[in-house]
Amino acid sequence: MPNHRVSPTAEPFGPGSAVVVLGLASAIAWGAGDFGGGWASRRAPVLGVSLVVQVVGMLVYVALAIVAREPIPTVATIAISVAAGVVVTIGIVGLYHGLAVGRMGVVAPVTGLIAAVMPVVAGILRDGLPAAVVLVGIVLALVAVVLVSRVPGTSGSRSGIELAIVAGVGIGAFNILAGELPDGQVFGPLIIIKIAAATVIVAVLLVGRRSWRMPRRLAAIAVAVGLFDMVGNACYVLATQAGRLDVAATLSSLYPVTTILLAVAFLGERVTRSHAVGIAAAVAAIVLISAGSAG
């Protein structure tokens, strides 16, 4: 298909810089949302927290779509959005289930790597190879994702590798599909994505007859997680429209760095050697990708 994205330029605040800023913004927002979602899910049903996150995002997106006066999505855009909503929900549920029954040290990094590699490969196939410095930065970022995602975990007699693959493919497919949304349409497609995701969650709740209610004291946390998720999604879609898919996806995939730093700051968790090396690799990757995208 024809490439409708804007190519990076040498302008200081041109598309090349925009994709970097928006990609990193999505990583920060998604990382904060994952931190809050993980904290809340330890104290309330995961599907209940997830449902609140989807509904909050949908309501805010509706308001923003009205203010922005976006055109009504085409049939093709609706189809892409529905597919994106379904696959990302499968990915998230697979990830949570894998972390619950498998070894976290296997599930988290495998999921993160697959979810990052898929859109990178898709971006290279669509736009060609990036500049050498950007390519080196992408490789460093992928290494960082694996290192930062590694966590000790001895629960479960199985590795959970099959669930990690499902989760990674689901989240990676979402990243690719979101990158195919047409320029000028952000909030409308995101509304459809949230509706599709909420529908899948409700179906799972009904079929499995699972509990979803949460204590009122956690409602505010779930709403905050929904807002972070909403910002992350919007920034990611805008990043894919501002520049290369592989650059946007790589930078946004660094969200585990945000989660780890918040866990250290608020939960007193220690930074392991793997985390420290991963964070250093992430910083180096950001510098290289930024330099190559703006140059």
Q: Are 193 and 85 in contact (CB under 8 A)?
A: yes
3 domain residue, yes or no: no
How much is the pLDDT for 25? 97
167 domain residue, yes or no: yes
Least Cα distance to 198 among 183, 212, 217 occurs for: 212
Phi and psi dihedrals of 7, rounded to 5?
-80, 145
Least Cα distance to 112 among 258, 286, 230, 222 occurs for: 258
Question: What is the domain range of residue 173?
Answer: 15-294
How much is the pLDDT for 137? 95
**Which residue numbers in the chain have pLDDT < 50?**
1-4, 6-13
Structure confidence by residue, pLDDT tens digits, 44-96: 788 888 899 999 999 999 999 999 999 999 999 999 999 999 999 998 888 87
185 domain residue, yes or no: yes
5 domain residue, yes or no: no
2 domain residue, yes or no: no
How much is the pLDDT for 112? 86
Task: Enter the tokens of residue 204.
Answer: 């799972």
Residue 158 and residue 150: Cα distance in Å, rounded?
A: 17
153 domain residue, yes or no: yes
Count of the separate structural domains present in the chain = 1
8 domain residue, yes or no: no
Least Cα distance to 162 among 110, 100, 112 occurs for: 110
64 domain residue, yes or no: yes
How much is the pLDDT for 100? 66
Phi and psi dihedrals of 231, rounded to 5?
-65, -45
Q: Are 98 and 160 in contact (CB under 8 A)?
A: yes
Q: Is 295 helix (H, G, I), strand (E, B) or coil?
A: coil
Dihedral sign for Cα 22, 29, 169, 82, please: negative
Least Cα distance to 4 among 249, 178, 244 occurs for: 244
